[in-house]
């Protein structure tokens, strides 16, 4: 996980916490934050899978 990815996830979590504390929860903001976190995690997963495939191919 890259430093900027970790920071972005932390930022999104802080935004979610502040939304939770507000009197009126905006579903669109919650959805956007969760979508951002999902996109980051999907990218990380893709990188891990790609690295594993490269390793496996190099063993052939």
**Range(s) of the domain holding residue 39:** 3-58
Query: What three-state secondary structure class fits 9?
Result: helix
- Please name the residues in contact with 48: beta carbons below 8 A apart, sequence gap of 6 or more: none
- Note the pTM of the prediction, 2 decimals: 0.77
Which of the residue ranges 5-9, 10-14, 47-51 would you say has the lowest mean pLDDT?
47-51
Q: Tell me the CA distances in angstroms from 48 to 41, 44, 52, one per residue in order.
A: 11, 6, 6
CA distance 46 to 55: 14
State the total domains in the chain.
Answer: 1
Considering the chain, what percentage of its residues have pLDDT values greater than 70?
100
């Amino acid at each position: 996980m890259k430093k900027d990815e970790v920071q972005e996830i932390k930022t999104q979590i802080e935004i979610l916490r502040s939304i939770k504390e507000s009197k009126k929860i905006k579903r669109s903001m919650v959805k956007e934050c969760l979508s951002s976190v999902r996109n980051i995690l999907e990218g990380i997963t893709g990188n891990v899978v790609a690295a594993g495939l490269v390793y496996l191919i190099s063993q052939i």
